[in-house]
Amino acid sequence: MPFFRRQETVTLPRVRSFPALLALAVAVLLGMSTALADAQADADSKPLRIAASNWTVAETLIALGVKPYAVSDISNYDEWVKAPAIPQSTLDMGLRNEPNLELLAQDPPDLLMTSALFSRDNARLERLMPVKVIDNFYTDLPYYEATLAMTREIARLTDRQAQAEDLIAETNQVLDQAARALENTETPLFIVQFSDAQHVRVFGQGNMIGTLFSRTDLTNAWTGPTNAWGYASIPIDRLAERPEARIVIIKPYPRGVGDELANNQIWQHLPAVREGRVSYIDPVWPYGGLISLQRLARSLVEVSTTSPAGLASAP
């Protein structure tokens, strides 16, 4: 209720007039102060609207129970990352390396989380919203340690520390289970993704696949150099350098590659292909966060403990 709505005569006992008025004023002011504090607390308690141009950040936000306000290139996320699913309410903010500035300017998020890989646009983006570079590559740490640090940083910014520690504990449990399931596994593996019908990205050290090789008895058939993302781009005929190896293909194929491989004589004459030692696993983001790592670990256990003939259905 307002303090004095209109001028009027108020009669109070003389001995109580000043103390009463003072007490009333203090009470009203305290009430106003409390209301303002409550309103501020309500505003502060609202979740931040966070946009993610980096799929790994988007994956981690969702894993921590945060619905991203916007994510880059959702259709390709659905194809290449697959899980966890992007909420239907999340906006598509354009390409990862070229976010839709007009869309973001209409109703800017409270924070944009991006990768060092896409930082060239930061100067323009920072005129619209706060920008935070968060990465599990482009650091001085190995992939797994960098991914733990990234997860905890995202959790700190979103007040999801408890959820992050649960996710980390769950991931360690999945890795321990994979190590037990893969004990004494001897056949070396090439783990690849096709870039076209003549070339693959073959994975080595410096990413989640290297982490799985280091924490299990799996043997990587690729021992050559890799780039900063932990893979090497090679022609498919180099997969014949280890004729005893199995080939594990991470889906999806780029458009048209599946049809081309059916008539690709180099591919068809690889020892692993001729002898039925090729397996396929569902799409998983090899540069992703802890959920992707868990999914890849389970997939590699499955393909390594099941005969290739039972898993070699092409996508």
Which residue, 160, 170, 166, 114, is CA-closest to 137? 114
**Residue 242 — left, alpha, or beta (φ > 0 → left; ψ -120 to 50 → alpha)?**
beta
Name the architecture of domain 185-310: 3-Layer(aba) Sandwich (3.40)
pLDDT number for residue 305: 80
Could you count the other beta carbons within 10 Å of the beta carbon of residue 149?
A: 15
Give 149-202 pLDDT, tens digit per residue. 999 999 999 999 999 999 999 999 999 999 999 999 889 999 999 999 999 999
pLDDT at 34: 38
pLDDT for 14 beyond 60: no
DSSP codes joined into one string, the chain: --S-SS-------GGGHHHHHHHHHHHHHHHHHHHHHHHHHHHHHSPP-EEESSHHHHHHHHHTT---SEES-HHHHHHHT--SPPPTTPEE-EETTEE-HHHHHHS--SEEEE-GGGGGGHHHHTTTS-EEE--SSSSSS-HHHHHHHHHHHHHHHHT-HHHHHHHHHHHHHHHHHHHHHTTT--S-EEEEEEEETTEEEEE-SSSHHHHHHHHSS--BS--S---TTSEEEEEGGGGGGSTT-EEEEESPPPTTHHHHHHT-HHHHTSHHHHTT-EEEE----TT--HHHHHHHHHHHHHHHHS-GGGT----
Confirm whether 50-171 and 185-310 share one CATH topology: yes
Residue 41, pLDDT above cutoff 60:
no
The residue among 2 and 95 whose pLDDT is bigger is: 95
Is the pLDDT at 22 greater than 50? The verdict is no
pLDDT band with cut points at 50, 70 and 90 for residue 25: very low
| Confidence category of residue 308, pLDDT binned at 50, 70, 90 | low
pLDDT confidence of residue 35: 36
Percent of the chain with pLDDT over 90: 64
| Domain locations in the chain as residue ranges | 50-171, 185-310
| Pair of tokens at residue 102 | 């007009």
Higher-confidence residue of 103 and 65: namely: 65
Among 45-54, 110-119, 122-131, 211-220, the minimum mean pLDDT is found in 122-131
Between residues 186 and 308, the one the model is more confident about: 186
Q: How confident is the model at residue 44 (pLDDT cuts 50, 70, 90)?
A: low
Instruction: Identify which has the larger pLDDT, 2 or 167.
Output: 167
**CATH code, 50-171:** 3.40.50.1980
Average pLDDT, the chain: 83
* pLDDT, average across residues 195-213: 94
How far apart are the C-alpha atoms of 274 and 80, rounded to whole Å? 28
Interval 76-135: pLDDT, tens: 999 999 999 999 999 999 888 788 888 888 889 999 998 877 666 667 777 788 999 998
Question: CA distances (Å), 160 to each of 13, 143, 151, 155, 293, in order?
Answer: 57, 22, 10, 4, 20
User: Tokens for 81?
Assistant: 């990352």
Q: What pLDDT shows up at residue 37?
A: 35
According to the model, what pLDDT value does residue 194 have? 97
What pLDDT was estimated at residue 169?
98
Report the candidate in 105, 106, 123, 162 with the shortest Cα–Cα distance to residue 114. Answer: 123
Q: State pLDDT tens for residues 286-307.
A: 999 999 999 999 999 999 887 6
